[in-house]
Structure 1
Amino acid sequence: MGKPLNVGVIGCGAIIAQYLTNFRKLDSINLVAVADLDPARAQAVADSYDGVRALSVDELLAADDVDLVLNLTIPAAHADIALKAIAAGKSVYGEKPLAATTAEAQQVLDAAAAAGVTVGCAPDTVLGTGIQTARKAIDDGLIGAPISATATMATPGHERWHPNPDFYYQPGGGPLLDMGPYYVSALVTLLGPVVSVVGAASHTRNERTIGSGARQGQVVPVNIDSHVTGVLVHASGALSTLFMSFDAVRTKSPNIEIHGETGSLVVPDPNHFDGDVQLFALGAEDWETLPVSAGYVDSGRGFGIADLANTPSGQEPRAGGQLAFHALDIMESVLESARSGQSVAIKSTAARPPVVELTEITTSVLT
């Protein structure tokens, strides 16, 4: 705490651009090196950012001036890169999910604990003003004791816009594992950990046709369920219902809606960092848009790393490995329940992260 965290990035695909934009305004992060299996991509990033070296993956892992590795590789490589970084004595922060499976994710957490380094993981959208304002409204008692929530994501499929959508329709893909981390992490942040789940799943088509790019018109096989519904039982007693679909055309349902004894909240898209939070209090005549009251203002990808950098030693970051593991465990268990037809107990847990006080980036170090 109190000095910049030296960060090295492995994986220089499209997502890195969002991190670079925010690193430039986060004085608590000092980007020092980048690496990619394609050296030209790493060099292009280094050329665009003052003071950054383009290295091989092995060189970056061995670099003495890298404190934390930002892992932007594909999900199948998340655990392998994280374990190599930890073995090199470095903390890690990865894109979602923490790993392809909970078994691999547990290896990452165990290795980090043994090495005394920190694990963080996206999504850090939960740290923005949208989710955090909703969280503060709940904590302030504006809806009374929470009773239930709904979380809805509906799209006819990513093949309509993605030029290479194959992985979305293979094991490890699907609407829940792709988009669920945003929704499940938000639900745990808002309502606390989950103790059991019930799931059901289906798919409407065995093939998808690519709608754009060089492969337009090619057919992609579907080997996963493309519509998933789950009920999450929170330790608090609240019940959350998930609706995650690559089959539905459109929805007018809120992304997340929370119901309590004395009010209901409309929560903005958990894939975004901001958005309006609306309250309908018992006895009111209409919805009220709440003023922004918590979260990092004008935040974006990378703020989770800045939050990690300023987390006291020994404390779990808000976008930490335990929350990411719990979210992955919940999603795996929903899919297991869908296959077995049985309720599944969640073995993991995660503390409900503390609220982010309303914070603008006006000083050299986040507080």
Structure 2
Amino acid sequence: MKAIITHRYLPRRILSLAVGSPLGQGAQVNEVPIPSITDSEVLVKVCAVALNPIDFKDIDFISPRNSAIGCDYAGEVFRVGKNSEQRWKIGDKIAGFVHGGLYPDIGSFAEYVKVDGDLAWKVPDEMTLGEATTYGVPAATAMLSLAYLDIPWVDIEHGCSGQGTQSTILIYSGGSNVGLFAIQLAKRAGYNVVATASPRSFDLAKRYGADAVYDYRTSASIGEIKKAYPNITKALDCFSEGSSAAFCADVLREGKVVTLLDQGKPKKANVTYTFLMLYTVFGRKFQLMAPLGPVFPVMPADREIISKFYGSLSTLSLDAVRPPPVTMIKGGFKEIFDGLKTLRKGEGRGTKLVIEF
């Protein structure tokens, strides 16, 4: 099969990271073997992929040479391991994400991808595979973040939005793909949602359920939020760069901020930062930019959360958990590379780029 594979050695990746831009093309389309699967895995014929910033970061800086690239996918079940036969059959429409960028045989930017049978979801007939692929990294990150903030899965699964809870959560960068999913899931759990966004994304965040939206670019918003919502104890920082985590900590009376990049320790007393690394759901210990980067342990509880989420996603109301705005592009590997260039330049905001093969 054809797949996008990295070919940059560690010194070149470190140099690219140091200068802040990729030096040359870090990946190419190669002919590689179709992955073999274990009893607990499923082989998927890929029909659509969604692009994430982590994909070009893998190519440019993170991924070791000869790693398969790509995380989000949707497609059709092609082969089923015997332990997954109760859940999947050949021809089922399936979607999810994988830990692309680390292994030679796991990546969604390929004609076939192998996935864990319990970490994928069955796409309903009323949804296209292009839409389904957006429920990968962003949706799973939002779900796991809320779990880290001690929001019970049962409240999201059954929906507590009509019970009138007075609890409020802050979602920084609510117009991002992770933010839009987090807004919807938190609303479904019964929370009031205060979001930050750029003014051009105010309406978008409100359409997805935010009760109030503030401009993250002005420090005056911190005082405005604290005055209107003085008892916030939970925050999700979907940006996790610059002063975003500090902004969240300043808003909180006390409590926890979940960040998507390591932000160190907060300066504010009674506030903690919890760093989330989504790939812990796959039950494998791993290291980023080995042998230099951080090591992440196996975390079975994280897997259980996403397994439950994907196990129920097909039956959740599609009106309650909608995909973000999507830009569908028909094509293949060339269009994937073109889309990653768009993301690399900081363009394509306010939409999710999806390539339909």
**TM-score (structure 1 length as normaliser):** 0.30
Q: Looking at both structures, which has the greater relative contact order when contacts are Cα pairs under 8 Å and sequence separation is at least 6? A: 1
Give the TM-score normalised by the residue count of structure 2: 0.31
